[in-house]
Structure 1
């Protein structure tokens, strides 16, 4: 029997690429409904055109749907609402505001209120087989030490409003595990595709390359701080393949998965790897972290370097994300998180060829 999919968050990167992954892996598709904001209709049509150019994607099975997850019945037109609630088997909740510097009211409305409305809506779906909620590993906030997949509740605070609102949203989803067939996905910090280096935007860890590119003519490249914290970078293709697989296997129901690197490098190691691979220089000397924090308070410098001040916190918080459940349930699938050292050359090459037109704001999955 073919599946009927509904995605929130189209035409975003996640929705678009998970659609491609579902077709690529050969899952039986009856129809895929792609919910987009009315204001994003033109972008949605453009993304649909891009998908039509992918050989294995059957665009005849794709339907654009105007909606707004923050509204009752997800803002869907009445007849469409009836169709979707009657037919959906797999719901991917991807819509969210991912920017680390987003104000709290906006972030709360989309990430928390939107999730509350999605939860309510799904309770009236008669054929639902799986609800895939896309969270983040960083619902752990300022917690340090080992973070386990079954853990969520804490009172240690958060590094930004994005983390806080995703935490509150995941709490809402977690409460529905007894009533809905839920799979929660918690990715680490996204980096480019492991074989090609391709990425939609140069944010997150790319600030290191942005900075090295600006200072490559300097005779001395310094470290900033001791960099003892492990930084969890994951290639986009690993997140997409693992999410698609775990969304369709029976054992994924009721689980929460860390899609993080089981053997991450420290911030200092990553910085050294990037510097040596990109500008062929080994960093020397260590400057205190507060100097970078102080400098990044200046908007012109943030723009020039291509980094938000909020991103620094991810290189100082000493958290490690346990992936026991993920590795156990991915066993036999052929899906593993590759070592950063192996795919770094592809990341560097893609950056070098596209750096002029892709410097954007910092965000994480």
Structure 2
């Protein structure tokens, strides 16, 4: 019997990118089951069909199952669940609320309770070879200095409910690591494909592009603060390649990996390079972060600039994500994180082409 992969989070950005890679070439897989909430089923099927057409692949080896990660047995029909439980070999848990401005109640229900339910379900699988849990490097919260991959709870505070609930969820996953062959993936801020620029949502550094686009007619655009914090951005293709490698690597069992940039740029440099790529301009002058925070307290300004206020905290939090374990375990794989500077032109071009696509823009409140 070949491998049967079960994945949550489709048709989200990372899950879609993983499916695209699997369709291109993954000799390990016989079957893929995607857990999708019923209200997203039509969109998920459309996305799968488009991917299959793009990659000239048949649709025979993957299927969509309706469910809800916050329910017992993930809300899967009993008969279908029984069939899946017998054969699933790999679980990839991606489903989460990623919005920095999310309410605590919603974030806790999906990110924490949802992960608890996936943990419980994974324990029922007799043929499980690997449980991949997608956390985030920002479970470090407001910690500064060097953050190591084996660290989690250092009594830190958090910049938003997204970070806090992903921290709580990762704690739950660590509790089952002795029972399940688990690998925890902690990405930095995920951006579009390094070669094509393709992304499904304009968040993270794309908020800067939204601001540049709004202010492009001004004679100059200032820096936001001193920008001394590191901007840890990773292209989705690196994340997918590394994760796919770790899914099959025995060395990855019971480990946590920072899929972060090993040579990140300071936020000031990212801001500068991104403005140059998009507008052909250089920033001039500095507006303190606390002043921008004040301005961003007005919802009308946030919506006009199309940027979430919570983004500003990442301009000043000086965390350095050590990824030594990741680099060591990827040795010989040919997989490495591209230099951000070499991807920004592609990022800016894709943004320019798709900035008016409402499905890609975050609904700023």
Q: TM-score, length-normalised on structure 2?
A: 0.96
Q: Which residue of 1 aligns with 2:118?
A: 118
Q: In 2, are the aligned partners of 1:85 and 1:126 still within 8 Å (CA)?
A: yes
What is the SS of the residue equivalent to 1:79? Answer: helix
Q: In 1, are the aligned partners of 2:225 and 2:287 still within 8 Å (CA)?
A: yes
- 1:173-207 Cα shifts (integer Å, max 9, x gaps): 01111110000000000111101111112111111
Instruction: Supply the distance in 1 between the matched residues of 2:224 and 2:239 (Cα, whole angstroms).
Output: 29
Shift of 1:56: 4.9
Instruction: Supply the distance in 2 between the matched residues of 1:148 and 1:95 (Cα, whole angstroms).
Output: 24
Instruction: Supply the distance in 2 between the matched residues of 1:280 and 1:89 (Cα, whole angstroms).
Output: 50
Task: Name the CA shift for 1:56/1:326 in 2 (closer, same or farther; >3 Å).
Answer: farther
Q: Which residue of 1 aligns with 2:331?
A: 331
Q: Which residue of 1 aligns with 2:179?
A: 179
Q: In 2, are the aligned partners of 1:204 and 1:362 still within 8 Å (CA)?
A: no
Q: In 1, are the aligned partners of 2:20 and 2:55 still within 8 Å (CA)?
A: no
Q: In 2, are the aligned partners of 1:99 and 1:162 still within 8 Å (CA)?
A: yes
Give runs of ≥4 in structure 1 deviating > 4 Å: none
What is the SS of the residue equivalent to 2:184? Answer: strand
Shift of 1:57: 3.5
| 2:129 is aligned with 1:129 | yes
Q: Which residue of 2 aligns with 1:29?
A: 29
- 1:61-93 Cα shifts (integer Å, max 9, x gaps): 011101111111111111111111110000000
Instruction: Supply the distance in 1 between the matched residues of 2:345 and 2:319 (Cα, whole angstroms).
Output: 26
* Structure 2 unaligned regions, length at least 5: none
Instruction: Supply the distance in 2 between the matched residues of 1:148 and 1:361 (Cα, whole angstroms).
Output: 31
Shift of 1:270: 0.7
Q: Which residue of 2 aligns with 1:50?
A: 50
Instruction: Supply the distance in 1 between the matched residues of 2:223 and 2:27 (Cα, whole angstroms).
Output: 47
- 1:124-171 Cα shifts (integer Å, max 9, x gaps): 100000000010000000000000000001212101101001000000
Shift of 1:27: 2.7
After superposition, residues 172-321 of structure 1 pair within 5 angstroms as 172-321=172-321
What is the SS of the residue equivalent to 1:155? Answer: coil
Q: In 2, are the aligned partners of 1:100 and 1:362 still within 8 Å (CA)?
A: no
* Structure 1 unaligned regions, length at least 5: none
- How many residue pairs are counted as aligned between the two chains? 363
| 2:19 is aligned with 1:19 | yes
Instruction: Supply the distance in 1 between the matched residues of 2:118 and 2:35 (Cα, whole angstroms).
Output: 12
What is the SS of the residue equivalent to 1:272? Answer: helix
Instruction: Supply the distance in 1 between the matched residues of 2:150 and 2:109 (Cα, whole angstroms).
Output: 26
Q: TM-score, length-normalised on structure 1?
A: 0.96
